[in-house]
C-alpha cells in the first residue's frame, strides 16, 4: 500500500476514535476545557458535552439553594475540578534494624594434647564433667621416668656429700677441687629437676576450667604430642560471630547491645553486647565481621549453635508515600501534592521500595496530601476535588 494511503487510513482511524470518545464520554467537554481548548470550540465539537456542563451548572446552583452539605460533596461547585483520592505523608525509617545469622563458640575452648609420647595408663574424666584448671585428666606410663628421677636423686646426694667433704678439708685440697665439687652439685640438682619435670609431664593436666567433651582415646592407646585427648569448653559465655552489610561499618561500635535467638530455642531471646569489630571489609562479600558476647550462666547454649542476631539503630528518616502515588516522566520520578485544592508536581528520589510504602528523598513533610487515585487526569496547577483522605499518622519502620 502506498504511503499516502497508509497516512490517510491512519487519520481516518484517529478521527473516528476521537468522535466516538466525544460522543460516548460524558466528561469529554470538561477534559477538553482542562486541556486549554476554548469553550466556543468545545461547544462546536461536542454540543452534548456543553449541554451536560450547563445542566451540571444548573444542578450546582440548585444544590446551593438546598444546603451546604450537598455543596461540599460536589466540591464547592468548582467547574472542571478533578476528583482524586489522597493519602497523608508519614515518616519512614530505614536502616534502623539489623538482622543476621551467626555461629556461636565458647568463650574459651582448648583441645588438650599430651606434652610427651607414651601409652595411656589411666583416664580420670568422662564426657560432661566439669573440671578445674590444673586437674589431672589422664596419666601416661611413667616407669622409665620414675627410675630416671631416682637416679638423679642419688646423684644429687653423692654430689652434696663430696662438696661438703671438700669444704671441710680445704686445707688439704686445692681450691679448684672445691670449685669442681660445687659445680658437680649444681649439675646434679639440675638433672633432678629435669627428671621431675619429665615425670610430671606423664600427667595430662586441664589448662582451663571447662566442660569435658567426648573423650576420643582409651586406656592402652599410644599417643604423641599431637594426639587430642579431649576438648574443654568454657561456655559460661558464648561468642557469636556474624557478618553485616558494609553500610553499617560506621554505625556499629563495641559495647552496643544485641539480641540473639538460637535456632534450637525459637522464641527465647538472649541478650549480649558487641565485643569486637573487624578492621576491614571483606572484598568478596562486601560485609563486615562482628563478634558479640552472650551471657550463658544458665548453660542453655552450646558452642557451634546458629543464632539469629538483631540490633537496633536510630536509622535514617525519610518521607513515606503510597507506592501508587509515585509516577514517572522523562525527568524521573515524582508525586502529585495537593495544596489549596491545586495539584503540584514534586520531584522525588526513591530510597527504598516496600509493599506498603515507598521511602523517598523529597521536599515533603508529615501530613502533606499526596494523590493516590485519579492520577491520569491530574495536571500541574490544576484544580482537584478530594474525595477521601486516607489519614495516616505515626512512623513507618522498614528493614
Same domain, 109 and 237: yes
Taking the C-alpha atoms of residue 77 and residue 81, their distance in angstroms, rounded to an integer, is 9
Give me the percent of the chain exceeding a pLDDT of 90.
47
- The answer to whether the CB of 102 falls within 8 A of the CB of 260 is yes
Residue 312: pLDDT over 50: yes
Same domain, 240 and 383: no
Same domain, 91 and 102: no
- The answer to whether the CB of 388 falls within 8 A of the CB of 371 is no
| pLDDT tens, position by position, 46-56 | 654 444 444 44
Same domain, 263 and 129: yes
Average pLDDT over residues 68-74: 41
Same domain, 88 and 65: no
Residue 1: pLDDT over 80: no
Same domain, 49 and 157: no
Domain count, the chain: 4
Same domain, 163 and 234: no
Residue 359: pLDDT over 80: yes
CATH number of the domain bearing residue 192: 1.10.287
| pLDDT tens, position by position, 117-164 | 999 999 999 999 999 999 999 999 999 999 999 999 999 999 998 888
Taking the C-alpha atoms of residue 299 and residue 250, their distance in angstroms, rounded to an integer, is 34
Comparison of pLDDT for 262 and 177, the residue scoring more: 262
Q: Which residue segment(s) compose the domain that 342 sits in?
A: 82-95+317-397
Same domain, 179 and 261: no
- Written as nine digits, the cell of 11 is 487519520
pLDDT value for 64: 40
CATH number of the domain bearing residue 289: 2.40.30.170
Q: What DSSP designation does 222 have? A: E
User: Last residue of a domain, which of 152, 177, 201?
Assistant: 201
Same domain, 239 and 355: no
pLDDT value for 272: 93
Same domain, 246 and 149: no
Helix axis angle, 3-24 relative to 47-66, nearest 10°? 20
Beta strand 395-397 with 90-94 is parallel
Same domain, 251 and 109: yes
Among the residue ranges 3-7, 220-224, 369-373, the one predicted with the least confidence is 3-7
Amino acid at each position: 500500500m502506498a504511503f499516502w494511503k497508509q497516512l490517510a487510513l491512519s487519520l481516518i482511524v484517529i478521527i473516528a476514535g476521537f468522535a466516538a470518545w466525544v460522543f460516548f464520554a460524558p466528561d469529554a467537554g470538561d477534559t477538553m476545557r482542562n486541556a486549554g481548548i476554548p469553550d466556543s470550540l468545545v461547544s462546536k465539537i461536542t454540543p452534548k458535552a456543553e449541554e451536560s456542563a450547563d445542566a451540571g451548572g444548573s444542578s450546582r446552583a440548585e444544590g446551593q439553594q438546598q444546603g451546604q452539605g450537598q455543596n461540599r460533596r460536589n466540591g464547592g461547585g468548582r467547574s472542571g475540578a478533578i476528583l482524586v483520592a489522597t493519602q497523608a505523608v508519614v515518616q519512614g525509617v530505614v536502616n534502623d534494624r539489623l538482622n543476621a545469622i551467626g555461629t556461636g563458640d565458647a568463650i574459651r575452648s582448648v583441645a588438650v594434647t599430651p606434652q610427651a609420647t607414651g601409652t595411656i595408663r589411666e583416664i580420670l574424666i568422662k564426657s560432661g564433667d566439669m573440671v578445674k584448671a590444673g586437674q589431672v585428666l589422664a596419666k601416661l606410663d611413667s616407669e622409665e621416668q620414675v627410675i630416671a628421677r631416682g637416679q638423679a636423686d642419688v646423684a644429687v646426694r653423692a654430689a652434696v656429700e663430696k662438696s661438703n667433704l671438700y669444704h671441710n678439708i680445704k686445707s688439704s685440697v686445692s681450691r679448684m677441687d672445691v670449685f669442681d665439687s660445687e659445680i658437680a652439685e649444681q649439675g646434679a640438682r639440675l638433672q633432678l629437676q629435669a627428671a621431675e619435670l619429665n615425670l610430671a609431664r606423664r600427667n595430662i593436666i586441664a589448662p582451663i576450667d571447662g566442660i569435658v567433651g567426648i573423650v576420643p582415646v582409651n586406656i592402652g592407646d599410644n599417643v604423641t604430642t599431637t594426639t587430642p585427648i579431649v576438648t574443654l569448653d568454657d561456655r559460661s559465655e558464648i561468642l557469636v560471630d556474624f557478618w553485616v552489610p558494609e553500610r553499617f561499618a560506621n554505625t556499629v561500635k563495641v559495647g552496643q547491645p544485641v539480641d540473639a535467638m538460637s535456632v534450637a530455642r525459637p522464641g527465647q531471646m538472649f541478650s549480649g553486647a558487641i565485643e569486637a569489630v573487624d578492621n576491614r571489609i571483606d572484598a568478596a562479600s562486601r560485609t563486615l565481621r562482628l563478634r558479640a558476647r552472650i551471657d550463658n550462666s544458665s548453660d542453655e547454649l552450646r558452642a557451634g549453635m546458629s543464632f539469629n542476631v538483631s540490633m537496633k539503630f536510630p536509622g535514617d528518616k525519610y518521607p513515606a508515600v503510597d507506592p501508587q502515588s509515585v509516577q514517572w516522566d522523562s525527568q524521573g520520578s515524582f508525586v502529585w501534592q495537593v495544596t489549596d485544592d491545586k495539584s503540584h508536581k514534586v520531584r522525588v528520589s526513591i530510597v527504598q521500595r516496600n509493599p506498603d510504602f515507598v521511602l523517598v528523598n523529597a521536599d515533603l513533610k508529615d501530613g502533606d496530601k499526596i494523590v493516590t487515585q485519579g492520577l491520569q487526569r491530574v495536571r500541574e496547577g490544576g484544580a482537584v476535588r478530594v474525595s477521601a483522605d486516607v489519614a495516616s499518622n505515626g512512623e513507618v519502620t522498614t528493614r
